Amino acid sequence: MTAIIGATALAAALIGGGAGAAIVGLTGGGSAGAAATSSSVTGQTVSDATSSGDVSAVAAKVVPSVVQVNVTTSQGEAIGSGVILTPDGRILTNAHVVEGAQNVTITTSDGKKYQASVVGSDTKGDIAVLQAQGADGLTAATLGDSSKLVVGQEVVAIGSPGGLQNTVTNGIVSALNRPLSDVGGNKQQQSPFSRQTSNGTSAPSYTAIQTDASINQGNSGGALVNAQGQVIGINSALYSPSASANGSAGSVGIGFAIPINDAKTIVDQIVNG
């Protein structure tokens, strides 16, 4: 089975085995997503500061701004990642990470844990906003400009694949404006927790950054950053030419991220209505 799988890791105890995340078809063509930015997304101001591009330097800057997201649902537990937007605990993640959440806990890079609530989500854009309770002094990420990306540019992915927090991988931008959409018709689509639908109304649909930086289940909602340590995408899905029936899959060097400009627009809509 060839599939696009949202990169959320589910615990083995998940009832029914559960898919790793939404599985949709991959189609060609399409245009770039919205590139508007919003003042309500209060990540640190982007500057023109330069960097050597060394991965260790990028990791040192960005790892403190990426959290692990643990979610409990009626069907089991899931693990994803998130990006800190504000020092008081506003977190950006994927909608499929928190779908059906009954309890959400975030863990910062230094091991501190906070309960979190879901402020809102957009399933089509696969973006959600969390609020960590009682958080203060967190390290907000620096948000970049995804409209300035070029194919071949070096990028770094940070998240919690398989629950391995603070994992760093690197690669390049393999393609831009890659449309992810369901195949339509009566072909079954599979949601993050094995609920089946006969149409594409609940499947994510967005235009993605394609990267060969290793993205695996658990990376969903984590940061894709440039050589200056600016977040330019939210890791969201991986391509699997041989995904198993329960959605398990590993990286084959084809991963996808939601452009940060699109994510900022959606966050503004969620926060400000």
Active site residues: 96, 126, 220
* Residue entry with tokens 């403190």: 64
Q: Dihedral angle at the C-alpha atoms of 155, 177, 41, 142, nearest 10 degrees?
A: 10
Could you tell me the two tokens for 219? 């990376």
d(CA 35, CA 45) in angstroms, rounded, equals 17
Instruction: Give the chain's length.
Output: 273
In DSSP terms, which residues pair with 101 in a beta bridge? none
Element spanning 256, H or E? strand 255-259
- Which whole-number Å values give the CA distances from 162 to 7, 79, 84, 158, 220, in the listed order? 10, 8, 20, 13, 11
d(CA 78, CA 11) in angstroms, rounded, equals 6
